[in-house]
């Protein structure tokens, strides 16, 4: 998407992120499983956003670091994180990952797919692997791409109110494993606000291959953080990689 850069998503969604996405996954099972997986007290979330997961995870006593390219997202996090438990880092999850060692590096809810090429995704695996402590693991939560997915362009309605309409406009390119779109947020008082997004998806097998190239291997794969077993029909996965 012309003009789109690493901070575009975060900067465009920071003001509505918690309102729109607070229920996207179960925070309690996520933080419990992440806490169990952490091989040591220092952990890092890539694409931490508003701290939806990082703040409750830090409340369990872990030293949680959160990396994000969007200053607007980190401002939201700081406003919510009253006791300043999460150590925030402004930067990119390939080029600016904080120094390890970490007992756990994780990237939740499709955020890994914000890296828009296979090369960048591979580089992220390598950077995470280099920062893991001896028993540390790298955890990715993402959707399982649908092989039947056709190249689609569409417009749908996200929400309608008397003074506000939010439309979703998207296109996808299955051959390049990419999709992009805009939420078009129209309000009577504020005019039109565009909220762009862009992803490059990868299959679980492709992620396993990237892990292998980074010296990691798959240790566990569940459907979700509540450890529901992963199966042929699973639409999402939580994959745990370690040396």
Ligand X SMILES: C[S@@+](CC[C@H](N)C(=O)[O-])C[C@H]1O[C@@H](n2cnc3c(N)ncnc32)[C@H](O)[C@@H]1O
The DSSP 8-state label assigned to residue 66 in this structure reads E
Using rule CB under 6 A, residue 55 touches ligand X? no
User: Across the beta sheet with 87-90, what order do the strands follow?
Assistant: 87-90, 63-68, 42-46, 102-107, 132-143, 236-242, 217-222
Using rule CB under 6 A, residue 53 touches ligand X? yes
Letters for 206-225 (x = contact with ligand X by CB under 6 A, - = none) are --------------------
Letters for 69-108 (x = contact with ligand X by CB under 6 A, - = none) are xx--x------------------xx--------------x
Q: Which helix (H) or strand (E) holds 159?
A: strand 153-161
Among 49, 100, 136, 196, binds ligand X (CB under 6 A): 49
Half-sphere exposure of 212 (CA within 13 A, CB side): 6
Half-sphere exposure of 126 (CA within 13 A, CB side): 9
69 vs 172, beta carbon nearer ligand X: 69
Q: Whose CB is nearest to ligand X? A: 10
Q: Measured from the CB of residue 93, what is the shortest distance to ligand X in angstroms?
A: 4
Distances (CA, A) of 30 to 184, 222, 235: 31, 12, 17
Letters for 9-48 (x = contact with ligand X by CB under 6 A, - = none) are xx------------------------------------xx
Q: Which helix (H) or strand (E) holds 139?
A: strand 132-143
Q: Which residues bind ligand X (CB under 6 A)?
A: 6, 9-10, 47-49, 52-53, 67-70, 73, 92-93, 108-109, 111, 114-115
């Amino acid at each position: 998407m012309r003009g789109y850069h690493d901070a575009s998503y975060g900067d465009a969604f920071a003001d509505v992120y918690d309102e729109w996405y607070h229920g996207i996954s179960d925070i309690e099972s996520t933080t419990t499983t992440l806490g169990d997986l952490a091989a040591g007290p220092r952990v890092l979330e890539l694409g931490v956003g508003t701290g939806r997961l990082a703040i409750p995870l830090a409340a369990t006593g872990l030293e949680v670091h959160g990396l994000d390219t969007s200053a607007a997202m980190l401002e939201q996090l700081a406003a919510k994180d009253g006791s300043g438990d999460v150590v925030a880092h402004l930067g990119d999850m390939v080029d600016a990952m904080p120094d390890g060692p970490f007992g756990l590096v994780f990237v939740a809810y499709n955020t890994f797919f914000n890296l828009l090429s296979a090369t960048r995704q591979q580089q992220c695996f390598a950077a995470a692997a280099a920062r893991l402590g001896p028993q540390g693991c790298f955890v990715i939560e993402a959707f399982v791409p649908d092989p039947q997915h056709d190249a689609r362009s569409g417009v749908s309605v996200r929400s309608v109110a008397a003074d506000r309409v939010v439309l979703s406009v998207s296109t996808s390119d299955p051959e390049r494993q990419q999709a992009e779109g805009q939420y078009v947020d129209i309000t009577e008082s504020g005019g039109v606000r565009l909220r762009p997004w862009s992803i490059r998806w990868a299959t679980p097998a492709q992620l396993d291959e990237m892990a292998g190239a980074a010296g990691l291997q798959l240790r566990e794969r569940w459907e979700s953080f509540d450890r529901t077993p992963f199966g042929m029909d699973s639409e999402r996965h939580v994959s745990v990689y370690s040396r």
